[in-house]
Chains A and B, each alone.
Chain A
Amino acid sequence: MEILSVRNLKKYYGTGENTVKALDGIDLTIQKGEFLAIVGTSGSGKSTLLHMLGGLDIPTSGEIMIDGVDISKLSKDELTIFRRRKIGFVFQNYNLLPLMNVYENIVLPIKLDGIRPDQEYIANILRLLGLEKKKYAMPGQLSGGQQQRTALARALAAKPAMILADEPTGNLDSRTSQDVLGLMKISSTNFAQTVVMITHNDEIAQMADRIIRLEDGKILTGGAVYVKSKK
């Protein structure tokens, strides 16, 4: 079942001779529960594509449908609510709120939706990500890896339909990287969550169901629709 489809997506910066084509006619379809890795060189448009998919940036043209909703037609607040409920973001630079402890950072999107957090589920995530002892630590007290895991926990906490992760293992050691990816895969399977992940690491990309390679704002390979095996 298709959860995301992108038609002729373009994002241009500047005008005339100075135009930079960050994304230049992207067509992409992603199925529900699919684990997708986007790879490409620096400046190829990976992060821009991820931001477009999450409604954090506005495309120059093209259409993005998520779960049957054309997000370009949503108002600013509707898009924010949609993002809160449907999408979990893991930013490359974590983007944790410095005034909140780990627990508060994680449950914030749920509480913003007026829902009481599922404490058992949160505890489980904290345990799986090795953050149990850091539950009340402030972001300033965490290492880069711990902050990365907190950002991931925040993305998983609301059980969104889709997780968009920008280099989620960029600051982690190889063992933790494996654990994090394992968790993302389990989450993807258990809750039928779609995961779209940017990575530079080919080894990590290999763990994905499908790999898309971007170059100069265009999909080089992997743009085809992948239908997951029932096994």
Chain B
Amino acid sequence: MLKVKNREVISELAKLTYKANKKRNLLTVTAIFLTTFLISTVLSLGLSYWNTISLRQTRMTGMDYDIELSEPTEEQVSVIRRMDTVTYAGLYVKCAVVSQYQDRLLDKLRLFWMDDICWEKQTIPALETYTGTYPQKENEIMLSLSALKDMGISSPRTGIAIPLMYQTLSEISDNTVTQKNFILSGWFTDYTGSSKGFVSKEFYQETGVKQTDLTQGMLKISLRNSLYSKEDIIQMQNKIGLSRTQFIDADYDTISNFCKVTAALLGLLLLIFFSGCLFIYNTLYISISKDIHYYGQLKTLGTTSAQIKALIYRHVIWNSLKGIPLGLAFSAVIAKLIIPQALHVVNPTISEKDVVMISPGVFIIAAVFSLLTTFVSSNKPANMAKDCSPVEAMRYAGVSGKEKIHRRGGNITSMIKQNLLRDKKQFVVILLSLSLAVSLFLVVNVVIRINNAKWILNSSYDYDLRVLNQTMLDEDEYQAITDDLIETIRSLDRVKDVRVVKSAAASVPYQEDMYGEYYKKLYESRYSPGNYEDDMKSYKQNPDDDLFTCRLVGIDEQQFDKLTREFGIKLDKDDFKNGKIALISMNLVDIDNHIVHKKLNFTPRGNSETNKEENIEIGAVIKDCPAYYAGGYNPELIVSNSYLEKIMDNVITELLQIDYDESYSIKTENTILKLIKENHALSYDSKLERYSEMKVSENQVKILGNSIGIIVMILAILNYINMMAASIQNRSKELAILESIGMTTKQIQKMIIGEGAGYAGISLILAMFTGIPSSYAVFYNLNIYGIPFSIPLFSNLVLVIAIIIICITAPVLILKRLYNGTVIERLRE
């Protein structure tokens, strides 16, 4: 057969048809544009979002490393540093504890020395900001902002004198308190919330602490491959040979956690891709179906099926050439100009060019995906046009109508139903597309929620403000938290709950059947206080041995309720209140439950003459003690405040845990802080302050996360509008017929609104069924902070309301926009 040169004719025909279908091409170009925009923007913002939350996670840890080796020897350090698998290994040693600054008692302000690797490669990347330099001279010190706050220094300057009282942590130390005038060489902010300071190598060496001292020295190791297995760590252990007390602290779930996160992110990506795919498919399907009559006419004139397909693909290419670059350009504008500007406003220290990554890879993925989707999606309708016989094509009405339907409808409600189901495939595609977009929004929302600093802090803080009696660090402890103060705080309007924790020291005589097993375990553990036989011998002879002091902790009813709820234990509240049962708490090693229901003998210590030996039944063993100060190596004994006051005089209130009606309420917090500000014997720990420290990166996380959420939401809505526009345009003749036989514009609007409401209602229900389980799955895999699962109600409600409003109003507006001209003009279209 001779080849006929008709390429030019087809090309000409394609151009003519393309020009004639401006409105429909606009819809297709919009679909391609939106899909390209969705993918490139969500991927760009998603990558930046991920980097920001990863950085925040590092800042919350305070240092960037993968595993750590306790008490490393010089030899072990050099062996590890030579390992191929190790990038950096920085040395970090705790060498002193500061107890006082001027007249202020300080709590848990620890001083560390670290080598250059640890400072430059592992610590600096984890700091939000730092000013000054790492201490070089013997008397220089660098402090965290929390430490400076505890000292009452709100405007630090380098070079100012910092007079401190401290004790070294040397194993041979005699616990003498030394006074020293340090010079502030710098300060820093991280998100650990802890008070700490860094000192020079010279000072560290003077303290006498060695990196091999128990619990003091740590080698922070950054691995080349952060995904390590237990075998990798065992291999490392074998190469360096660990002593009895040494250990490598590693998270063996790294690989499984990575798999979980990857699975969740892949699922999210698939949702995005599938959503885009459906979007383009639906618009093309409607567009090409609309032209079936025209293709039928061409066939009757002798155009072959292959030529029709070639003609359709030409249109697809032209639409893609418009839609894809436009989508990429808009995405670049959003990701590189608008959002960085917004982030820069929130945090001027962020360089605009650093905040949002625009990787060429993302653009290539988005462009290739959109092009592929466009071609794959046009294949089906193109084949439909290709395979349809000329007569069938001329008579094509978009509905099969091959069976009799025994129906006596003919009213608007039945017309809505018929229109929704007129093309089942299209109905499914529109619903899937819309519900998928809503599901995607639900999932994105949950991801944003997991990474919300407030939620993260809520899971780690069980109070809004904790007020601590600092005098209990001292020999001369006194009632710094008075009953008046407690009552004043309780009476404040916006204070929900004030839990009072009292404490005192107690002596527990050696009781083999109670703690016998526990002592053995303790002395076998890395926390072993010394020699088991010697210590036990001494303890049995002297029950008041300081090493085995027991902290007697008194709690109120609210605290009791909270603990029993938290640990899922059932105890009689009255028995607890009356001192018939107590709880014990120990974190160092596990205590067997066999001691439950046994009775423990103890004697409260103090200056009261009424102190006598008591005994109390153990109701449960828990792993969390509401008290702040620890005692000796005996587990803490938790009793009711009323019982404690009964057996002791002048029990000191150790701390208050305060909950606000509204967490993070600045007003409430300021009111309480005013009450305690002048009292230097009190210190506080505030969830709000911790949140404020994280605020800058939190704003960054929020802007990026919400941008993704808003873009997904806008696209879901635009997607729907585009599909409805295509659907209404496709039915313009039918609507004109209805008007010609007497259906008013209001009735047509009512019908279209009904259809929109139908799509909105069904897709929202579908989205609930798909979105909630998917968001739970993603939540489960990404939830590293143990935040309880909940659905962000407000933003989802906004989406639901927006979708309902838009699904109802958009079709009417589209109708008005597309519905021009006289009835007869529209009938002739």
Contacts of A154 on B, CB cut-off 8 Å?
741
Q: In whole angstroms, how far apart are the Cα atoms of A111 and B413 in the complex?
A: 11
Q: In whole angstroms, how far apart are the Cα atoms of A101 and B410 in the complex?
A: 9
CB distance from A102 to the nearest CB of B (A): 9
CB distance from A53 to the nearest CB of B (A): 12
Residue of A nearest to B746 (CB): A77
Q: A57-B824, A140-B402 are in contact. Are A104 and B742 (CB under 8 A)?
A: no
Contacts of B139 on A, CB cut-off 8 Å?
none
Q: A57-B823, A136-B404 are in contact. Are A80 and B410 (CB under 8 A)?
A: no
Residue of B nearest to A98 (CB): B397
CB distance from A88 to the nearest CB of B (A): 9
Is B565 engaged at the interface, CB distance under 8 Å to the other chain?
no
Q: In whole angstroms, how far apart are the Cα atoms of A66 and B746 in the complex?
A: 24
Judging by beta carbons under 8 Å apart, are A136 and B743 in contact? Answer: no
- Looking at chain A, what size class is its interface with the partner chain? 35 or more
Judging by beta carbons under 8 Å apart, are B734 and A98 in contact? Answer: yes
Judging by beta carbons under 8 Å apart, are A138 and B822 in contact? Answer: no
Q: Among A89, A98, A105, A139, which residue has its beta carbon within 8 angstroms of that of B740?
A: A89
Contacts of B743 on A, CB cut-off 8 Å?
80, 84, 108, 112
Q: In whole angstroms, how far apart are the Cα atoms of A76 and B815 in the complex?
A: 15
Q: Among A80, A98, A111, which residue has its beta carbon within 8 angstroms of that of B411?
A: A111
Q: In whole angstroms, how far apart are the Cα atoms of A35 and B827 in the complex?
A: 26
Judging by beta carbons under 8 Å apart, are A108 and B410 in contact? Answer: yes
Q: Among A89, A95, A101, A158, which residue has its beta carbon within 8 angstroms of that of B405?
A: A101
Q: A56-B824, A104-B410, A108-B410 are in contact. Are A138 and B404 (CB under 8 A)?
A: yes
Q: A80-B739, A80-B743 are in contact. Are A98 and B401 (CB under 8 A)?
A: yes
Is B419 engaged at the interface, CB distance under 8 Å to the other chain?
yes
Judging by beta carbons under 8 Å apart, are B822 and A113 in contact? Answer: no
Which has the most chain B C-beta neighbours within 10 Å: A83, A98, A100, A154? A98
Judging by beta carbons under 8 Å apart, are A104 and B402 in contact? Answer: no
Judging by beta carbons under 8 Å apart, are B741 and A104 in contact? Answer: no
Q: A51-B824, A103-B410, A108-B410 are in contact. Are A97 and B404 (CB under 8 A)?
A: no
Judging by beta carbons under 8 Å apart, are A104 and B407 in contact? Answer: yes
Q: In whole angstroms, how far apart are the Cα atoms of A154 and B742 in the complex?
A: 11
Residue of B nearest to A134 (CB): B404
Judging by beta carbons under 8 Å apart, are B744 and A81 in contact? Answer: yes
Q: In whole angstroms, how far apart are the Cα atoms of A158 and B741 in the complex?
A: 10
Q: Among A76, A99, A113, which residue has its beta carbon within 8 angstroms of that of B419?
A: A99
Residue of B nearest to A100 (CB): B410
Q: Among A57, A83, A100, which residue has its beta carbon within 8 angstroms of that of B822?
A: A57
Is A225 engaged at the interface, CB distance under 8 Å to the other chain?
no
Q: Among A80, A100, A138, which residue has its beta carbon within 8 angstroms of that of B745?
A: A80
Is B737 engaged at the interface, CB distance under 8 Å to the other chain?
yes
Q: In whole angstroms, how far apart are the Cα atoms of A141 and B400 in the complex?
A: 9
Judging by beta carbons under 8 Å apart, are B747 and A112 in contact? Answer: yes
Is A33 engaged at the interface, CB distance under 8 Å to the other chain?
no
Contacts of B398 on A, CB cut-off 8 Å?
98
Judging by beta carbons under 8 Å apart, are A112 and B742 in contact? Answer: yes
Is A205 engaged at the interface, CB distance under 8 Å to the other chain?
no
Which A residues between 129 and 143 are near B, CB-CB below 8 angstroms? 136-141
Q: A95-B827, A98-B397, A140-B402 are in contact. Are A103 and B741 (CB under 8 A)?
A: no
Is A85 engaged at the interface, CB distance under 8 Å to the other chain?
yes
Is B568 engaged at the interface, CB distance under 8 Å to the other chain?
no
Q: A51-B824, A98-B397 are in contact. Are A107 and B410 (CB under 8 A)?
A: yes
Q: A57-B823, A98-B398, A99-B419 are in contact. Are A84 and B741 (CB under 8 A)?
A: yes
Q: Among A83, A97, A141, which residue has its beta carbon within 8 angstroms of that of B742?
A: A83
Judging by beta carbons under 8 Å apart, are B399 and A99 in contact? Answer: yes
- Looking at chain B, what size class is its interface with the partner chain? 35 or more
Contacts of B737 on A, CB cut-off 8 Å?
95-97
Is B84 engaged at the interface, CB distance under 8 Å to the other chain?
no
Is B738 engaged at the interface, CB distance under 8 Å to the other chain?
yes
Judging by beta carbons under 8 Å apart, are A76 and B397 in contact? Answer: no
Contacts of B410 on A, CB cut-off 8 Å?
100, 103-105, 107-108, 111
Is B422 engaged at the interface, CB distance under 8 Å to the other chain?
yes
Is A109 engaged at the interface, CB distance under 8 Å to the other chain?
yes
CB distance from A182 to the nearest CB of B (A): 24
Q: Among A56, A104, A111, which residue has its beta carbon within 8 angstroms of that of B823?
A: A56
CB distance from A172 to the nearest CB of B (A): 19
Q: In whole angstroms, how far apart are the Cα atoms of A96 and B740 in the complex?
A: 11
Which B residues between 61 and 101 are near A, CB-CB below 8 angstroms? none
Contacts of B415 on A, CB cut-off 8 Å?
99-100
Is A58 engaged at the interface, CB distance under 8 Å to the other chain?
yes
Contacts of B678 on A, CB cut-off 8 Å?
none
Q: In whole angstroms, how far apart are the Cα atoms of A169 and B743 in the complex?
A: 26
Which B residues between 403 and 443 are near A, CB-CB below 8 angstroms? 403-412, 414-415, 418-419, 422
Q: A57-B823, A136-B407, A140-B397 are in contact. Are A97 and B734 (CB under 8 A)?
A: yes
Q: In whole angstroms, how far apart are the Cα atoms of A103 and B405 in the complex?
A: 10
Q: A83-B740, A97-B734, A108-B410 are in contact. Are A76 and B745 (CB under 8 A)?
A: yes
Is B395 engaged at the interface, CB distance under 8 Å to the other chain?
yes
Q: In whole angstroms, how far apart are the Cα atoms of A81 and B414 in the complex?
A: 21
Which B residues between 707 and 756 are near A, CB-CB below 8 angstroms? 734, 737-747
Q: In whole angstroms, how far apart are the Cα atoms of A58 and B823 in the complex?
A: 9
Contacts of B422 on A, CB cut-off 8 Å?
99
Judging by beta carbons under 8 Å apart, are A141 and B822 in contact? Answer: no
Q: A57-B822, A80-B745, A104-B408 are in contact. Are A140 and B740 (CB under 8 A)?
A: no
Judging by beta carbons under 8 Å apart, are A97 and B406 in contact? Answer: no
Which B residues between 780 and 829 are near A, CB-CB below 8 angstroms? 822-825, 827
Q: In whole angstroms, how far apart are the Cα atoms of A180 and B630 in the complex?
A: 104
Judging by beta carbons under 8 Å apart, are A100 and B418 in contact? Answer: yes
CB distance from B420 to the nearest CB of A (A): 10
Contact code string B560-585 (vs A, CB < 8 Å = 1, else 0)? 00000000000000000000000000
Judging by beta carbons under 8 Å apart, are B738 and A97 in contact? Answer: yes
Contacts of B414 on A, CB cut-off 8 Å?
104
Q: A51-B824, A103-B410 are in contact. Are A138 and B405 (CB under 8 A)?
A: yes
Q: A98-B397, A138-B401 are in contact. Are A103 and B742 (CB under 8 A)?
A: no
Residue of A nearest to B418 (CB): A99
CB distance from A46 to the nearest CB of B (A): 13
Q: A111-B411, A137-B404, A139-B401 are in contact. Are A56 and B822 (CB under 8 A)?
A: yes
CB distance from A155 to the nearest CB of B (A): 9
Contacts of B744 on A, CB cut-off 8 Å?
77, 80-81, 112
Which has the most chain A C-beta neighbours within 10 Å: B398, B401, B407? B401
Contacts of A136 on B, CB cut-off 8 Å?
404-407
CB distance from B11 to the nearest CB of A (A): 30
Q: Among B401, B412, B742, B825, which residue has its beta carbon within 8 angstroms of that of A84?
A: B742
Q: A95-B827, A97-B737, A104-B409 are in contact. Are A85 and B404 (CB under 8 A)?
A: no
Q: In whole angstroms, how far apart are the Cα atoms of A84 and B748 in the complex?
A: 14
CB distance from A199 to the nearest CB of B (A): 19
Q: In whole angstroms, how far apart are the Cα atoms of A81 and B747 in the complex?
A: 11
Contact code string A113-151 (vs B, CB < 8 Å = 1, else 0)? 100000000000000000000001111110000000000
Top 4 nearest A-B pairs (CB, nearest first) are: A84-B742, A140-B401, A138-B401, A104-B410
**29 residue pairs A–B, Cβ–Cβ below 8 Å:** A54-B740, A56-B823, A56-B827, A77-B746, A80-B745, A83-B741, A84-B742, A84-B743, A85-B742, A91-B740, A95-B740, A95-B741, A96-B737, A97-B737, A97-B738, A98-B397, A98-B401, A99-B399, A103-B407, A103-B410, A104-B410, A107-B410, A108-B410, A108-B738, A108-B743, A112-B744, A137-B404, A138-B401, A140-B399
Chain B positions near chain A (C-beta within 8 angstroms): 395, 397-412, 414-415, 418-419, 422, 734, 737-747, 822-825, 827
User: Given known contacts A104-B407, A111-B410, A111-B411, what 15 new A-B pairs fall within 8 Å (CB)?
Assistant: A56-B822, A56-B823, A56-B827, A80-B745, A83-B741, A84-B741, A98-B734, A100-B410, A100-B418, A107-B410, A112-B743, A138-B402, A138-B404, A154-B741, A158-B742
Chain A positions near chain B (C-beta within 8 angstroms): 51, 54, 56-58, 76-77, 80-81, 83-85, 89, 91, 95-101, 103-105, 107-109, 111-113, 136-141, 154, 158
